[in-house]
A = this chain, B = another copy of it.
């Protein structure tokens, strides 16, 4: 079942408004939320008493008696954690989701939950010193695999050995004494992009992450759609070529086996060794290894083989997306993840296939665009989920 942390209580709507628009007068808040003044004042008093909000000086006059601004407690802190296959990103934000402190480190998710979460806690502790806060109001965390959202734990995650059903939510909640929300890494990127990126206020869109692997976050009717087992959006294993390479999952010709960071590094190595690309051969000799970034750099410098590799990949991604566009008829497609840095060559090819292959009615007004938040999409989304969780809990 699809689930959500989003509460529609007056308190939640009030805190969200202060988060998104900053200090507001009582009069403005009553107008914006369309609630009777006395009801709003009761709620505001309750929030003042528990320290969630505070008075913030006089508002600009609207005539009549001067009103006082209220704002979120400036000491409110959320932690946002984005676990990638090979990286940990953490940010501490204030109640308005502005970054107070941030840290990023390479770390192998395959080290297992105890070493990874221990490192996460150390990074949070360092951030706490910088951000000089005492405690967190809530934590949002994204992990690179399917998640049981209800239980707050990964479920059969293919690239996270040792993490299956590890109680990530409960472990972090116990350590930090605050509520925690756990979601898939692609879902949090989609949430981030909708909150502060190119999909701002779009209710039905697909966020396609092309990184080491490929996944999709699905927004329907303004909510993340997670599917019956929490694994909706796992498009990396859709078959694109019945005679393609064998995938890590055991099947043949999966999208991820044809394109993505891992596949592109493999193809780059082959192109360097076969002599198809002099630029790649040079880079290989220089660095002893090749990544998707090398392909991007060589393509930008005009290497024909690299341009072709990116085009082939874009065509594969486009063919899968064309089918999904006919199926779910979204309002927008956002392309994110590390390989989005390949930029316009990739995007042009994806667009070309999607517009040519999907139902014309479904692509008439369909923007296919790059992520605005880039590598920050995950932490922004994790912070949004943390704030929704905290603001939705009655105080």
Chain B proximity of A201: nearest CB distance (Å): 13
17 contacts between A and B (CB under 8 A): A1-B203, A2-B204, A2-B220, A156-B361, A220-B220, A220-B225, A228-B365, A231-B326, A231-B359, A231-B362, A232-B327, A235-B323, A235-B326, A237-B359, A238-B327, A239-B322, A251-B357
Could you say which residues of chain B place their CB within 8 Å of the CB of A234? 326-327, 329, 359, 362
Q: Could you mark each residue 294-329 of chain A with 1 if its beta carbon is under 8 Å from any beta carbon of chain B, else 0?
A: 000000000000000000000000011011101111
**Most-contacted residue by chain B among A146, A156, A231, A233 (CB, 10 A):** A231
Chain B proximity of A250: nearest CB distance (Å): 10
Interface residue? A137 (CB, 8 A): no
Across the interface, do A225 and B328 meet the contact criterion of CB distance under 8 Å?
yes
Which single residue of chain B is at the shortest CB-CB distance from A223? Answer: B221
Q: Could you mark each residue 142-163 of chain A with 1 if its beta carbon is under 8 Å from any beta carbon of chain B, else 0?
A: 0000100000000110000000
Known contacts A156-B360, A231-B326, A239-B323; 18 further A-B pairs (Cβ under 8 A): A1-B221, A204-B228, A227-B330, A228-B331, A228-B366, A229-B329, A229-B361, A231-B361, A232-B328, A232-B329, A234-B327, A234-B359, A234-B362, A235-B326, A235-B327, A238-B327, A251-B357, A320-B323
Partner of A227, one of B2, B156, B237, B328: B328
Q: Which 10 A-B pairs have the closest CB atoms?
A: A227-B329, A232-B329, A238-B323, A228-B331, A231-B361, A234-B326, A234-B359, A156-B361, A231-B329, A228-B329
Asked if A204 meets B1 with Cβ closer than 8 Å, knowing A229-B329, A230-B329, the reply is yes
Across the interface, do B239 and A319 meet the contact criterion of CB distance under 8 Å?
yes
Chain B proximity of A78: nearest CB distance (Å): 28
How far apart sit A359 and B251, CA to CA, in the bound complex (Å)? 10
Name A's B-contacting residues (CB within 8 A). Answer: 1-2, 146, 155-156, 203-204, 216, 218, 220-221, 225-235, 237-239, 251, 319-320, 322-324, 326-331, 356-362, 364-366
Across the interface, do B229 and A364 meet the contact criterion of CB distance under 8 Å?
yes
Give the number of times this chain occurs in the complex, counting copies: 2
Partner of A229, one of B155, B319, B322, B362: B362
Chain B proximity of A323: nearest CB distance (Å): 4
Chain B proximity of A309: nearest CB distance (Å): 19
Chain B proximity of A224: nearest CB distance (Å): 12
How far apart sit A229 and B234, CA to CA, in the bound complex (Å)? 24
Chain B proximity of A115: nearest CB distance (Å): 25
Could you say which residues of chain B place their CB within 8 Å of the CB of A326? 231, 234-235, 237-238
Asked if A327 meets B329 with Cβ closer than 8 Å, knowing A2-B221, A357-B239, A362-B234, the reply is no
Partner of A327, one of B226, B324, B361: B324
Could you say which residues of chain B place their CB within 8 Å of the CB of A330? 227-228
Which single residue of chain B is at the shortest CB-CB distance from A145? Answer: B361
Could you say which residues of chain B place their CB within 8 Å of the CB of A319? 239
Chain B proximity of A253: nearest CB distance (Å): 10
Chain B proximity of A204: nearest CB distance (Å): 6
Across the interface, do B328 and A328 meet the contact criterion of CB distance under 8 Å?
yes
**Most-contacted residue by chain B among A226, A237, A358 (CB, 10 A):** A237
Chain B proximity of A209: nearest CB distance (Å): 14
How far apart sit A233 and B359, CA to CA, in the bound complex (Å)? 11
Chain B proximity of A197: nearest CB distance (Å): 19
